[in-house]
Chain A
């Protein structure tokens, strides 16, 4: 039964059947093959409850928040300001790239759009200031992945909904690891540029007057972050309500800049709803498949098969790391999460792992998936912005950061408090 499932799923995916339909068709086939009762009757109810899930309302809201930031030009102004503030470290602007990505991550969830925007502004700096091209490209690709770890995060919402884990707790849990990982990225750049000073590029002199003048451009992301995250922990708002406050704040700030127009709104609406429809279609398929997994006992069967291997927690952890590392080379993160989280989390929770810690661990593995060849969405985006040279340059440039992320995953295992301290303190 497990084998049949894997074969059907892989066949559908290799044939590039849209993920939503692949999950749905797999559900229908399994229900036809193994279920004593036809499960399809539940489909209508599942589609309606999924489509009206209040937690999932947060997804279009966060996508829209990101769209407003991008389309109003706030995003690129922020990068320009960070460029003025960060160039004193060895490695110069590469730290600005990471800092800009971190700050974006605190307001939005779309790593593709972020990497494209930062990439466009940052790219001209490589030649102008003679940076090591590969490492520079790597900072943008790797920094962009922070978007799904630092709250708000669409992937964490997805994990929370799929496993019924508290989303505010997950957000809190993502904050410290996000900042630690960003610092590790910066440290990687620092070490590389101390060893090879030539990689670090030329510094440009910046006056304090220029810096202070650019300071207001850093304000909008801070205000939006406070509106979103502050309102959750002040106890004013749930995760979804906080997302709504973020959208309102972003739109008001954009309006203050005179950047709101009908064209801008239409573009933002279009982008938001296309992404939302795509995610929701996948969710409907995934929820149906989950029901089939439960009803046919497949979930239990899978966990029995793995517990039959009699692995210690360390072995199980390493097995899952390798599993996601390999899967992540070929799959896109949302579909990967929807397909694996409902099966893997129960197994790992039974083995004694904390559900909140697991959410963060899985999201870090998704970040790695975004920059490992041959399929790494962030790599494609950075190469696309660059429009010249070979894509291998970006992969090679991102490699040190992949190694750093694997080290970070081990740290998470050895010191789960990196993840759990903050949510436990607030609980």
Chain B
């Protein structure tokens, strides 16, 4: 189980980094396009389309990373007043429903992908990208997310069986504002130290 968790952690981090890199690349591409359009009167053509695909792929591949970091929002006004045991059960229920909804999304996303494949659809711009390429990578991102989420869920259920409620909450509980701020501060401090060194 532990090696599986470690592997999913790696996959999800790689997803976040490559998603971010895609978005940054899209920013530069669009930025160049705007400036060239304004000052040289030419357009790259399809910059917006590539950015759209970057958003789709980046999102799908980052869902797992967000899950690992417990970044998916939950309304915890009532939750935070429940005892630890109840919270652990709600954590598992919440994750199970999240997985359920995304199995459903992924299933129908496969349908859309199949249609693009059989119709041989290409993108609207001059680039004429076969739609199944970005769409395939997008669906694959969902699939990888489902794997990661299931591994996390199994891990949490195992912890619940052992009666280790605290561990469940550590893996899939909501993040308290305190923790969130702690992280933000650690980053702010790191930024400050780096600036001081210069």
Using a CB–CB cutoff of 8 Å, the interface residues on chain A facing chain B are 12-22, 24-25, 28, 40-41, 43-45, 47-48, 51-54, 56-57, 60-61, 64, 70-73, 76, 112-113, 116-117, 120, 231, 236-237, 240-241, 243-245, 247-248, 251, 258-259, 261, 264-270, 272-278, 280-282, 284-285, 330-332, 334-335, 374-375, 377, 380-381, 383-385
Q: Quick check: is B160 within 8 A (CB to CB) of the other chain?
A: no
Give bound CA distance, A52 to B109, whole Å.
13
Name the A residues within 8 Å of B192 (CB-CB).
Answer: 73, 76
Are A19 and B52 in touch, CB under 8 angstroms?
no
Determine if A40 and B34 form an interchain contact, defined as CB atoms under 8 angstroms apart: no
Give 6 new A-B contacts, CB below 8 A, not counting A72-B191, A240-B30, A241-B31: A20-B98, A24-B104, A47-B105, A274-B16, A380-B178, A384-B185
**CB < 8 Å: which of A54, A76, A277 contacts B71?**
A277
Q: Which of B31, B71, B73 contacts A247 (CB 8 A)?
A: B31
16 A-B pairs within 8 Å (CB atoms) are namely A12-B97, A15-B79, A20-B72, A28-B104, A40-B108, A44-B110, A61-B26, A64-B23, A70-B187, A113-B184, A244-B26, A265-B20, A266-B20, A277-B62, A278-B72, A280-B55
Chain B residues whose CB sits within 8 angstroms of the CB of A231 once the complex forms: 34
Are B187 and A273 in touch, CB under 8 angstroms? Answer: no
- Among residues of A, the one whose C-beta sits closest to the C-beta of B131 is A48
Residues of chain B lying within 8 A (CB to CB) of residue A244: 26-31, 34, 51
Query: Is the pair A241, B30 in contact by a Cβ cutoff of 8 Å?
Result: yes
State whether A112 touches B180 (Cβ < 8 A): yes
In the complex, chain A residues whose CB is within 8 Å of the CB of B180: 112, 380-381, 384
Contact A335 B97 (CB under 8 A): no
Q: How far is the CA of A52 from the CA of B163 in the complex (A)?
A: 43
**At the interface, yes or no: B8 with Cβ under 8 Å from chain A?**
no
Chain A nearest CB from B52 CB (Å) reads 4
Contact status B109-A276, CB under 8 Å: no
Contacts of B78 in A (CB 8 A): 14-16
Whether A71 contacts B181 in the complex (CB less than 8 A), given A52-B53, A275-B71, comes out as no
Set B21, B28, B73: member contacting A278, Cβ < 8 A: B73
Cβ-based interface call for B111 (8 A):
yes
Q: Which residue of A lies closest to B15 (CB)?
A: A273
Q: Which of B8-41 contact A (CB under 8 A)?
A: 13, 15-17, 19-21, 23-24, 26-31, 33-34, 37-38
4 nearest CB pairs, A to B:
A269-B20, A384-B181, A44-B108, A380-B177
Closest A-chain residue to B60, C-beta based?
A51
- Please tell me which one of the listed residues B72, B93, B178, B195 contacts residue A15 in the complex, with CB atoms under 8 A apart: B93
Whether A268 touches B20, Cβ cut-off 8 Å, given contacts A61-B27, A247-B27, is yes
Min CB–CB distance B75 → chain A (angstroms): 5
Assembled-state Cα–Cα distance A73/B188 (Å): 8
Residues of B close to A43: CB separation below 8 A: 104-105, 108-109
Q: Is B164 an interface residue (CB 8 A)?
A: no
Which of A12, A51, A71, A377 lies in contact with B56, CB distance below 8 A?
A51
Note all chain B residues with C-beta closer than 8 A to A264.
Answer: 191, 194
